[in-house]
Amino acid sequence: MPGSRTGRPPAQRAVRRPVAPGPPGDNAVRRLYTRVHRAWDRPLTAYYLILGGSLLITVLGLVMVYSASQITALQKSLPGTYFFRKQLLAAAIGAGLLLAASRMPVKLHRALAYPILAGAVFLMALVQVPGIGVAVNGNQNWIALGGSFQIQPSEFGKLALVLWGADLIARKQDKRLLTQWKHMLVPLVPVAFMLLGLIMLGGDMGTAIILSAILFGLLWLAGAPTRLFVGVLSVAGAIGLFLIKSSENRMARLQCLGATDPGPGDSCWQAVHGIYALASGGIFGSGLGASVEKWGQLPEAHTDFIFAVTGEELGLAGTLSVLALFAALGYAGIRVAGRTEDPFVRYAAGGVTTWITAQAVVNIGAVLGLLPIAGVPLPLFSYGGSALLPTMFAIGLLIAFARDEPAARAALSMRQPRFGRKRAGGAGSGREPRRWNTMRRRASVARSSGER
């Protein structure tokens, strides 16, 4: 064996042991998980989820409104596209509200809280004035605007409670008053109960449930003690139980939970036919526009029970897609509320997320027969401009808050247009032409004097 330069025998290298191969596909799964985790943790993830999810829900809702409302329109001697055109107009106006809300600074949102609350209270009180308020399906919660256009002020009451409640709690937190129970409850709970009273004067129990969910969401985010939270919840539950027992219509809806037969007098007709529509859809549905239940069998097919028509025409795949979009929207809202340092943004984002997710749960639960039929639309999906406009403004709030995160602001500031302007002076100016601005450009680093 030849010796080394030092005269010592060369050290023998350690023999590498072969690495035991892992399960097939383990590395691929791990790489996929790593990529998804990194993409999920990016600063702009919440921004893209809110923007993309809300737009997809709205567009899919327009398609389903067009499909589900044709028969209803023809039965009323109206053009088949009547409800679709109205919803499309509302979506266009809502898109403008969404864009405006997403570009507003947080201070302007806080400044709008009191005017929106005052306007909502005024309109909700105006509903009860004879000759102005209009009753629809037994609930007097509408105001006629002329022609076929109506507005439901209670839908704007949800937005008013979110903005005003978030601003109120944020100001009290800045003054460190939330440790006292009277400042936690007053005036938030009395004002919320005033809105609930105005809504219940018209008999709209469903909207009152969503407004109550927003109130409890704000109290939970504000850190209300358990005893205080349970106390307010018990009072609201007792009032709700009294209102349910005092109405035969509400008691009948409660008795239709899990019904598989219309029952005597067809009291559970809507609930049962909603189940029929879902059951006949199968995995991929009967095809867009091929619903049978919308031919006069399923009441409110384009409003409260549009999810049932979606299940019949698009099947389990369509309904799961809708659920996934709402889940992504809810996750993004929670993420925005959890990552911000601004108290108002935290409470407003949490209130909007509670509003949209609670209303989606109530609507879908009623269609599935798991909850009583509350008569609330599926957010961004069902027909109804009065519900669509404030909801899209609330989505604009979430987008503005997602853009306002420090990491998101830094990521957006680093983004440059793919095609930028060249530096003044072309080839004849003697200057080297500037490269086009791209997202992959990096800042030039000064080299040391010894580097070549």
Q: By CB neighbour count within 10 A (0-12 exposed, 13-18 middle, 19+ buried), where does 428 fall?
A: exposed
Both tokens of 419, joined, read 């095609």
Q: What is the DSSP code (8-state) at residue 360?
A: H
Q: How high is the pLDDT of residue 263?
A: 82
Average pLDDT over residues 108-131: 94
Q: How high is the pLDDT of residue 12?
A: 55
Spell out the residues 6+ positions from residue 64 whose beta carbon is closer than 8 angstroms to its own: 302, 306, 309, 310, 313, 381
Helix (H, G, I), strand (E, B) or coil at 46: helix
Its pTM stands at: 0.84
Q: Tell me which range, 250-259, 383-392, 410-419, is most confidently predicted by mean pLDDT.
A: 383-392
| In the predicted structure, residue 219 carries a pLDDT above the cut 70 | yes
Reported as a pLDDT band with limits 50, 70 and 90, residue 179 is confident
CA–CA gap between residue 2 and residue 413 (Å, rounded): 64
Residue 168: closest CA among 183, 151, 152, 148:
183
Residue 193: closest CA among 165, 174, 166:
165
Give the model confidence (pLDDT) of 25-76 as tens digits.
568 888 887 887 787 778 889 999 999 999 999 999 999 999 999 999 999 9
HEC readout, 111-136? HCHHHHHHHHHHHHHHCCCCCCEEEE
Both tokens of 179, joined, read 């440790």
Q: How high is the pLDDT of residue 443?
A: 36
| Sheet containing 133-136: order of strands | 133-136, 139-146, 149-151
Average pLDDT over residues 432-452: 39
The alpha helices in 280-342, defined as continuous H runs, are 306-339
Longest pairwise C-alpha distance within the chain:
112
CA–CA gap between residue 365 and residue 14 (Å, rounded): 65
